[in-house]
Structure 1
Amino acid sequence: MTASGFSAAAPDTALAALFVPFELGHLHLPSDGRVLFLRARAGVRLRVMAQPAWLCEQGFMPFADELGRCGLHVGEASVGELFPLVLILPPRQRDEARALFARALQHTAPGGTVLVSMPNAEGAKSGEADLVKLAGAVQHLSKHKCRVFWTTPTADSVDHELLTQWLALDAPRETDDGFVSRPGLFAWNRIDPASALLAAHLPADLRGRVADLGAGYGYLATQIIARCPQVSSIDLYEAEARALEPARINLTRAQQASGRDVEIAVHWHDVTRGLPRRYDAIVSNPPFHQGRADLPELGRAFITSAADALGPEGRLWLVANRHLPYEAILAARFHHVTTVTTQDGFKVIEANGVRP
């Protein structure tokens, strides 16, 4: 674990499998050393293989920070920038993965290769079928319970109409609930029931400067603006960069609907590393897992950061799965801790009176 509480190591199997085609001689690194790595993750194999000209894209701040600490170049490819090799560790969410495949083809130089590694349990066969549909024939191998597949697309083999369609899959879109989101975000196409429960119990007398930690596409913050007329400003903190644009849109809409001059700001930030300013109130539906693994220390880190950022009379409102063991850290950091409600497997907690 890193200091931030997130596991810094890549899914070791997927990252190790990604480089097997080079070890077996099926592929060779480009002579000019230029490689684009989409959704890159730090790990031993990457540190061994990477060269100074590699560009690693990673929108989740804790993972991007870890890549930087490993001495890797982290950033985004420019429009029209082409690479002889594009590596991908795709996400589970299929629309997000399809958009990533389309982006990879946009940045692949003529004669270049797109190389993908996916765990078998996370849709690897479907991912390979999607790349075939988009780019033409692929080669593949299996290793470490992962499927590794690659293609060298040509102008004739690429389905350009499908490419355009799949690029659009990553654009922010309005969901049936009236919020703007995008595939792959937490509860991206629905209102998360835990967040809805917390919103329903937020007191109308929240006031002053408020922060929403781990805000996602901004649902909770919109409810604060709608339900708490004495809130003068709200800061959203979210570690996933893809959530920021939808959050800004949703907050702007909520501010306009309220008819009040609420100051709003959206920050790409790892909450577990602390907050840059102090607040009168903080709300959060903190993350408690990474992938399929429960990591309650994430929620505890959020609580610690919240306590450090609240004034003496500040209030923390959070929601969590009922089984998560947050009571000890809450009691250690606050004089008063109240379970406001338990419902449908969730608990809503108010804490105030920050302990020094």
Structure 2
Amino acid sequence: MEPKSEVVIRQHDYLSGRVLLVNAPTDDLLSNLAHDIEPVLWTWNHNEFLFFQNQQANVHFGVDLPEGNFDQAIVFVPKSKELLNYILHNLVSRLTKGSSIFLVGEKKSGVERAAKQLQPYGPTLKLDSARHCQMWQMTIESTIKTKALADWAQEYTVTTPNGELSICALPGVFSQNRLDIGTAVLLPFLSQVTSGKIADFGCGAGVISAYLSKLNPKNRIFALDVDAFALASTQMTFEKNNLPLEQLEIKAVSGIEDAPLFLHAIVSNPPFHQGIHTDYNASENLCKTARRHLKSGGELWMVANRFLNYPLLIEQNFSRCTTKADQQGFKVLFANTQKNLKEER
């Protein structure tokens, strides 16, 4: 069990009734809660959703709170300060005056800083500090009215060879304030991507998906991401730029294994973070198994940090990997499923 969960168990006597667990760790916490506590989970990570589903837990996946009323809420500190603001605002708008919101997190993930975000809503108290974690309690003093989801999006403009795009990014989404360097390096090459059925793996705020739509209105684009806030951002970006929604199919995925088959192309600035931790599994699996999802002659376009060994992984599975660009610390990599001369002999 993670230390964060152990701290919650240590303060078990504070918990009662229908309790909403937000961003909970994927461990054995639920099986250690008392029988008179009714836990409901809220996650925006599709992998975590599947984990809790397998535990037969009452779990909700999405950008909004689960339906119903709650007596209390426990928030496990997310990486993003803006996302925590969103969570707290929505919890306070749903819970009644006098209810408690508990905040739990590791010191290295900034739980003390995060605890200050509780203060606008009511008095706070540190309940515990153990195992390099802390648990705080805030008692709601007054209720507030929920803000619309669109009000939480940050907008910025991306200049492309085919005109400007307005990007909408919700809290916690990768590169929320500006275009990241990797995608900027990749963008000029998107005009070379074969048209047709294209997957944007790790779609984030929808920069790549929107530009592919802008390049060719006949493209069928599958925006794939583990994060519900990313998927919602991509849809908002399409709507903001008046791009045809019938072109777009949004899908929550655990990894590239959930992508459609017989794609003409997969384009990706792949994710490599899970919460505060670095995790290259999703991007390495993309290099290893993307071929299975491509039709004959299908293409893989990918941008990645220069120091990563992705060209070798791609070469092992596609027979060949071409570096289209190497600048600002990033490489644009290309491969396709056409057989090489050795295979044809």
Contact 2:24 2:76 in 1 (8 A): yes
Q: Give the Å deviation of 1:176.
A: 5.3
- Match for residue 271 of structure 1? 255
Q: Find out whether 1:225 has 2:210 as its counterpart.
A: no
Contact 1:182 1:246 in 2 (8 A): yes
SS at 1:212 equivalent: strand
Q: Give the Å deviation of 1:57.
A: 0.5
- Match for residue 106 of structure 2? 119
Of 53, 71, 75, 1:68 maps to: 53
Q: Give the Å deviation of 1:39.
A: 1.5
Contact 1:68 1:74 in 2 (8 A): yes
Q: Find out whether 1:147 has 2:173 as its counterpart.
A: no
Of 329, 332, 336, 1:348 maps to: 332
What is the rounded CA distance, in whole Å, between the counterparts of 1:185 and 1:205 in structure 2?
25
SS at 1:65 equivalent: helix
- Match for residue 221 of structure 2? 234
Contact 1:285 1:318 in 2 (8 A): yes
What is the rounded CA distance, in whole Å, between the counterparts of 1:290 and 1:78 in structure 2?
23
Q: Give the Å deviation of 1:336.
A: 2.7
Q: Find out whether 1:174 has 2:155 as its counterpart.
A: yes
What is the rounded CA distance, in whole Å, between the counterparts of 2:202 and 2:74 in structure 1?
29
What is the rounded CA distance, in whole Å, between the counterparts of 1:144 and 1:348 in structure 2?
42
Total equivalences in the alignment: 329
Q: Give the Å deviation of 1:16.
A: 2.2
SS at 2:174 equivalent: coil
5+ residue gaps, structure 1, are: 1-8
CA RMSD of aligned residues (A): 2.8
Aligned ranges 1:144-223 → 2 under 5 Å? 144-153=131-140, 157-158=141-142, 160=143, 163-164=144-145, 171-175=152-156, 177=158, 178-204=166-192, 206-223=194-211
Q: Give the Å deviation of 1:214.
A: 0.7
Of 15, 28, 40, 1:55 maps to: 40
Q: Find out whether 1:334 has 2:318 as its counterpart.
A: yes
Query: For each residue in 1:70-115, what CA deviation from the matched residue of structure 2 results, as whole angstroms up to 9, or x when unmatched?
Result: 2211126455x32222111121322211221122223334543211
Q: Give the Å deviation of 1:342.
A: 1.0
What is the rounded CA distance, in whole Å, between the counterparts of 1:38 and 1:262 in structure 2?
33
Contact 1:233 1:263 in 2 (8 A): yes
Contact 2:77 2:111 in 1 (8 A): no
The residue type paired with residue 232 of structure 2 is E
Q: Find out whether 1:93 has 2:80 as its counterpart.
A: yes
Which contiguous aligned blocks of 4+ residues in structure 1 show a shift greater than 6 angstroms?
165-170
Query: For each residue in 1:272-294, what CA deviation from the matched residue of structure 2 results, as whole angstroms up to 9, or x when unmatched?
Result: 43323321111001112334443
Q: Give the Å deviation of 1:231.
A: 5.0
What is the rounded CA distance, in whole Å, between the counterparts of 2:278 and 2:39 in structure 1?
33
Of 7, 11, 19, 1:17 maps to: 7
What is the rounded CA distance, in whole Å, between the counterparts of 2:133 and 2:335 in structure 1?
44
5+ residue gaps, structure 2, are: 159-165
